[in-house]
Structure 1
Amino acid sequence: MTTTPDPGHEVSTAGGAEAADHRLHPMSWLFVLLQQLRQFVLPLVAAFFFGGDRNELWPLIGVGVLALVSVWRYYTYRYGFSGDALVVRSGVLERSVRVIPFARIHNVALQQSVLHRLFGVAEVRLESAGGQKPEAEMRVLKLADALALEALVRRRPAPDPAVAAPAAEARVLLALPPREILRLGLISNRGLIVVGAAIGGLSQFNPRLVPDLMERWGEWALGWASHNGTQDPAFLAVAGLSLALLVVALLRLFSIVLALLQHYGFTLTETGRRLTVERGLLARWRTSASRRRIQAWTLRETLLHRLLQRRSLDIDTAVAEQHNQQRTLRELVPVATPAACDALIEHLLPRAAWLQLDWRALPRRAWWRLVLPGLPVALVLTAAAAWFVGPWALLALLWLPWAAYVARRHMRAAAYAVNADVIAVREGWWSRHWRFAELDKLQALQLTRNPLDRRCGTATLWLDTAGASALAPPLRIRFLPEAEAAALYAQLARTLARRPLRW
């Protein structure tokens, strides 16, 4: 007897007349075991080489149990195809069958660590919109089987697995040479991630190691200055500035190394209506998503971007595990020229007329509202500093003219644009961004007015899309005149009412 479960749900069955005809790779148990062992590595190394409580070796018993579970999983896990769905079976004593329609799969992620590449295998994750877990996770498949599964999902409705269908031609939209990766390392500030990981790893062996090193370095620096009679404030200021520049240079060096590890060989390809990104130097990531799953776009340009004449383009997709940057297609263009970014937007959103958008400036007289939230905090901190330090602390109030200047520049650049297919918002001066989305992808509209808005006759229009990242700037239009905000809200509401909601 065959049990047919509801799509995307697990069911228990005593048996099945139709068995899945694909297994995991014979060495899959090893990779599952290594994945589970990560939390035990540092305590075990510390116990063996640095001494400590021998009770920390008790997890070795759990390691043996994990090894047996990993082998058991290999012998009981099967997957196959039934029409336009993927069927996953697992378990012996309690059988479970999971039927996943290809239409439900929004993202296919392939990951290869160095060990995966040595064995010619890959970890595959099939993700859907809104879920907290992937629809299916296969650790691990032969690389050829993983690519075949990705192609099968891409060509849905799925063809007969027994018939070899010709693969669609892939078109390269963007390929980053090593010099662009170096620019990405200079622009990004990910060196702090390396430093934080190093401090966390060292703290596992000795919690006092990093504080002791900093303390000894400070004692050495002050002792050297006293011994050589270099108490001149100017000399100490130059020495401190040189040290700060050295730290910045090291952080940029770490950032370049991390960029090379994560983005070397970055290639963005288009197959039909599906976008695929492949990148990585030692470990390799391959993620793909349908163009229609893209919910919102963010074009960024920081000060370093402008100095190097570059921009970056990120997207939000309605898939699970939005917090996992490595496995989710988010960085569509890590770094490229403004012309390349504009050309890619024009290609992927041909109806949006990106280069022909009619930008409408926001009221510049609202600049003071950007300064107002930080003004009380600045005054309180300055007063407290003056109490302990003296009148010299009042120099901190020089921040106010600078803040006012920055706010005025922000409002000069702030604008929005809307047409029949897309709505876009432009903000920022020192660091700029363009946030935009297709009207079909808007999930909700909200018009808000706080007491200050009511006093000034303005309103804020919030636009919500699925899969929005917590790190992405909000899609909103601030300081709109009340009548203009109400008219825009009504226009968008009518547009959404006439169109079916698409994810």
Structure 2
Amino acid sequence: MIEGEFLRVHPSTVLIALVEQIRRMLGVIIILVISTFTAREGDPNEILFGALGFIAVIFAAVQYFSFGYRVVGDHLETRSGILGRHVRIVPLARIQNVNITRTWVHRILGLVELQIETASGAGAEVKIGALQEPDAHRLKEQLTGISAPSEVFAAPVQAVHYRASVRDLIFAGMTENRAFVIVASAFGLIAFTPGGDDAIIDALVDWVKGHGYDAMPWWVYALGLLAFFLLGWILSIIFTLVQFWGFELSEHDGKLRRQYGLINTFENVVPRGRIQIVRSTQSFVQSWFGYSKLHAETAGSFVLNEQGGKTLLAPLVLGKDQADLKQLALSGRDIRHLDWRAIPRRAFWVHWRWSALVGLAIGAGVGYRWEWLWGAGVAAVYLLLSAWGQAMAVRRSAFAVNDELVAGRKGWLLHQVEYLPLARIQAVNIDTSPFQRRLRLATVTLISAAVSPSGRTVVLQDMEAAEAEELADRVFRLSQEQARDEKSEV
């Protein structure tokens, strides 16, 4: 690459930008189409949104033509903008990861997108939208070859540690029903379609009257509910297969490499030194079959289109294989010989008291609306079920500490196990509510450098107060020692 010369991306970038803008405006397009075919006048605001979207498409196409990139000495430089010129400089030594992604449009055109990540946040620092694959790999090698932390990309695969089978993906989709998301989207579309809700209500009323019913029969509600969950179940399986098709977790010179996707393909490397927390989650149904999902909370991004700062390590893995993958992500730290310690049973009262208040309020509302016996019955059932659920949650909650990491587990309907290496701990908090103080309990919060605000902590709830203070002191002391040891090794 010649220094001083900005290179352009592939001309097909314009087409990719058009498709992306159409995807973003798909809801407005569907509403306008429905309005046209139902002979109803569209909302003027929708026409305005469509016109604004068209202008945005043209603007995006021109903006892509203005984009250029080059490598100058020890940094990557990009240029963009039409009226205002924006130049971004990224030192090669700060590049943590270079992802290669392909949407279905990229695949048709034989192109790829490079997403260049640093440790500055949960997202790509630079996106180079459309390159021919050989050019993308050459640029990737140039960027990562100069940057010492990223030499992993030139290394051969050493071992494949996990490969998701079709059976695993189908089961993952089966146990993550997305029916509520689908129905919410459908209602949103109906609400924004002129006259859409009235048309559906009129059709239902006509159907009921046409079959001689005064009101909707119960079996229609039952069939509708069954169809609702069945549709969500089928679509959940399809979405999971498309998203995670061919999921593979392998190792490159001590760093983890992931690749997956049927329509939109994705591959990247997750440096194990950036992993802050390893977390496995298990739904109630998955626990019956011994399956769980494995995530890692990372510093920097390494997430692309994933949620928050969570990097998926395995969409579904059997219990007998979980320990190996967890230890792989934790750089060999021992999780097989942890001394798990349960929290006190009196922690039950800390959380169940709120459920009791909710149950009493529901019972009072039912009794006021109908009969007091109905209200008492509803309240009693709710209180019993919530008490049983809270007792199960307390029973499954525990924590463990050794000289390398701290671990916690919690939850019943959604069981979760978390592992935080001591060297990754940034701060330790001890919190007590007034009710916890009466019960001599405390909560310890261990904070890491993970990007995700909701996933950067490991929370050990409702420990013995004296034990919490002792644990916090021990963990913080060991974490400082390990952090110093890691720095001295580097």
TM band (smaller chain): 0.7 to 0.9
2:77 to 75, 87, 90: 87
1:375 has 2:377 as partner:
no
Moved more, 285-294 or 67-76: 67-76
Q: Tell me if the contact between 2:309 and 2:452 (Cα under 8 Å) persists in the aligned partners.
A: no
Question: How much has 1:261 moved relative to structure 2?
Answer: 1.8
1:339 to 320, 323, 341: 320
Match of 1:281 in 2: 262
Unaligned runs of 5+ in 2: none
Question: How much has 1:252 moved relative to structure 2?
Answer: 0.5
RMSD: 3.6
Match of 1:490 in 2: 473
1:245 has 2:232 as partner:
no
Q: Equivalents in 2 of 1:289, 1:471: separation in Å?
A: 20
Match of 1:19 in 2: 4
Distance 1:388 1:265, change over 3 A: same
- How big is each residue's C-alpha offset from its partner over 1:176-199, in whole Å with a ceiling of 9 and x where there is no partner? 122211111101123433443444
- How big is each residue's C-alpha offset from its partner over 1:446-474, in whole Å with a ceiling of 9 and x where there is no partner? 01111112211111101112335466595
Residues 280-299 of structure 1: matches in 2 within 5 Å?
A: 280-299=261-280
1:393 to 371, 375, 378: 375
Give the secondary-structure state (helix, strand or coil) at the position aligned to 1:429.
coil
Moved more, 145-154 or 266-275: 145-154
Match of 1:141 in 2: 131
Match of 1:314 in 2: 295
Match of 1:460 in 2: 443
Match of 1:110 in 2: 100
- How big is each residue's C-alpha offset from its partner over 1:356-377, in whole Å with a ceiling of 9 and x where there is no partner? 1111111123222221122112
2:65 to 74, 80, 99: 74
Question: How much has 1:43 moved relative to structure 2?
Answer: 4.1
2:250 to 258, 269, 276: 269
Question: How much has 1:37 moved relative to structure 2?
Answer: 4.6
Match of 1:196 in 2: 184
Q: Equivalents in 2 of 1:303, 1:431: separation in Å?
A: 6
Question: How much has 1:380 moved relative to structure 2?
Answer: 1.5
**TM-score (norm: length of structure 2):** 0.84
1:220 to 207, 229, 237: 207
Match of 1:127 in 2: 117
Question: How much has 1:490 moved relative to structure 2?
Answer: 0.8
Q: Equivalents in 2 of 1:326, 1:143: separation in Å?
A: 27
Q: Equivalents in 2 of 1:57, 1:411: separation in Å?
A: 55
1:363 has 2:344 as partner:
yes
Distance 1:60 1:238, change over 3 A: closer
Residues 403-422 of structure 1: matches in 2 within 5 Å?
A: 403-422=386-405
1:445 to 390, 403, 428: 428
1:31 has 2:16 as partner:
yes
- 1:209 partner amino acid: G
Q: Tell me if the contact between 2:393 and 2:410 (Cα under 8 Å) persists in the aligned partners.
A: yes
Q: Equivalents in 1 of 2:414, 2:308: separation in Å?
A: 27
- How big is each residue's C-alpha offset from its partner over 1:17-54, in whole Å with a ceiling of 9 and x where there is no partner? 93146431232232234334545555456557446368
Match of 2:458 in 1: 475
Q: Equivalents in 1 of 2:49, 2:399: separation in Å?
A: 61
1:182 has 2:170 as partner:
yes
Q: Equivalents in 2 of 1:423, 1:316: separation in Å?
A: 15
- How big is each residue's C-alpha offset from its partner over 1:404-431, in whole Å with a ceiling of 9 and x where there is no partner? 2222222221110111211110112232
Residues 348-359 of structure 1: matches in 2 within 5 Å?
A: 348-359=329-340
Match of 1:6 in 2: none
Question: How much has 1:491 moved relative to structure 2?
Answer: 0.8
Q: Equivalents in 2 of 1:99, 1:361: separation in Å?
A: 51
- 2:363 partner amino acid: T
Give the secondary-structure state (helix, strand or coil) at the position aligned to 2:129.
strand
Give the secondary-structure state (helix, strand or coil) at the position aligned to 2:270.
strand
- 2:428 partner amino acid: L
Q: Equivalents in 1 of 2:281, 2:143: separation in Å?
A: 32
Q: Tell me if the contact between 1:122 and 1:143 (Cα under 8 Å) persists in the aligned partners.
A: yes
Q: Equivalents in 2 of 1:123, 1:210: separation in Å?
A: 41
Distance 1:68 1:413, change over 3 A: closer
- 1:395 partner amino acid: G
**Aligned residues, how many?**
476
Question: How much has 1:257 moved relative to structure 2?
Answer: 1.3
Distance 1:21 1:423, change over 3 A: same
Q: Tell me if the contact between 2:169 and 2:241 (Cα under 8 Å) persists in the aligned partners.
A: yes
Q: Equivalents in 1 of 2:410, 2:63: separation in Å?
A: 55
Distance 1:411 1:223, change over 3 A: farther
- 1:30 partner amino acid: L
Distance 1:195 1:406, change over 3 A: closer
Question: How much has 1:131 moved relative to structure 2?
Answer: 3.1
- 2:297 partner amino acid: D
- 1:183 partner amino acid: F
**TM-score (norm: length of structure 1):** 0.82
Distance 1:307 1:95, change over 3 A: same
Question: How much has 1:78 moved relative to structure 2?
Answer: 2.1
Q: Equivalents in 2 of 1:249, 1:492: separation in Å?
A: 48
Give the secondary-structure state (helix, strand or coil) at the position aligned to 2:426.
strand
Give the secondary-structure state (helix, strand or coil) at the position aligned to 2:114.
strand
- 1:181 partner amino acid: L
